[in-house]
Amino acid sequence: MRLFNLRIVCCLLAVILLSGCTNSLPILAIPEQVSYDNELRVAQISQQLSRRNINTTTRMQLIFERGIIYDSLGFKAFAQSDFSHLLSFNPEIPDVYNFLGTYALREGDFEVALISFNTTLELDPTYAYAYLNRAITLYRTGHYQAADYDAIKFYQYDINEPIRILWLYLIEKEIDDKKALNMLQNRYNLINDKTIYSSNIIAFYLGKISESKLMQNIQRGVENNRQLAERLCEVYFYLGKYYQSKGDKERAKMLFKYALTNNIYNFVEHQQALYEVKLLEEK
């Protein structure tokens, strides 16, 4: 695993140096690795689940916990197996349908994804992230008005979170580019704390700061590698969407790949960066 990740980083650096696509090297975090603690916890849970004398509630809790760990590590097939198994105990768990929907969305199985997110929201109409996930699914299928409705619902749960504003913009620009940019400015103005690192992405989109300034700003206050990796996953994805909208597909693909190298598997930006790379490589 570590050798594989090291090769990715080395290849990326080689591509940059040889292609001359950028004026400076990108900011890179050490790709997140499978931790000993997570490996140990998976082993412990699996051992507990092998016992016959645990009750159904405990068994369900353990399966769900293991599924969450698998998901965070990028072991989607294992996670999907655990979450699907949970439905045999209780077919009305909103979290499970949301997870299963994200796996279908990642694979481009939009019909299954929509069914999963619809079920999540039928079981729990306040499940905020199901609105985002359904919005992205509708966005991918060209149903922009319906996607906008869900994205607005998600945004209204926290109007100060820049990532919610960015998804609204990505969707609304497909409906009316000029109006979407105005709305992006209006929503940016409403953010109470513009020192939040992700607000810099919006500032870049609005032309208030340069890309180099954006990359400087997102490093402020970083306390550890995990935090940097998460920020870079988000920033490189939205930079990729920006250059994609400008018609620079090669630069966009490169940025989407940078987003993937951080190994933040449970971020929507990682999931969508992977999908974007697949789309670009098919063309």
| Distance from the Cα of residue 63 to its chain's centroid | 23
Instruction: Report H helices in the chain.
Output: 2-19, 36-49, 56-73, 76-86, 94-106, 110-123, 128-140, 144-156, 162-172, 177-190, 199-205, 211-217, 225-245, 249-261, 268-282
Task: Give dist(CA 211, CA 235) in Å, integer.
Answer: 10
Direct distance between the N- and C-terminal alpha carbons of the chain, in angstroms, rounded to an integer = 30
pLDDT tens, per residue, the chain with 283 residues: 333 343 444 444 334 333 334 446 689 888 888 888 989 999 999 999 999 899 999 999 999 999 999 999 999 999 999 999 999 999 999 999 999 999 999 999 999 999 999 999 999 999 999 999 999 999 999 999 999 999 999 999 999 999 999 999 999 999 999 999 999 999 999 999 999 999 999 999 999 999 999 999 999 999 999 999 999 999 999 999 999 999 999 999 999 999 999 999 999 999 999 999 999 998 7
Task: Give dist(CA 202, CA 209) in Å, integer.
Answer: 9
Rg (CA), the chain: 20
**Is 86:65 a contact under the CB 8 Å cutoff?**
no
pLDDT at 253: 97
**Is 179:172 a contact under the CB 8 Å cutoff?**
yes
- Secondary structure class of 35 (helix, strand, coil): coil
Phi, psi of 156 (to 5 degrees): -65, -20
pLDDT at 24: 60
pLDDT at 256: 98
pLDDT at 34: 83
Checking 101-105 for CB contacts under 8 A at 24+ apart, the result is 101/130, 101/133, 101/134, 101/137, 102/133, 102/268, 102/271, 103/76, 103/79, 105/133, 105/136, 105/137, 105/140, 105/271, 105/275
Q: At what angle do helices 144-156 and 162-172 cross, to 10 degrees?
A: 160
Task: Give dist(CA 19, CA 189) in Å, integer.
Answer: 38
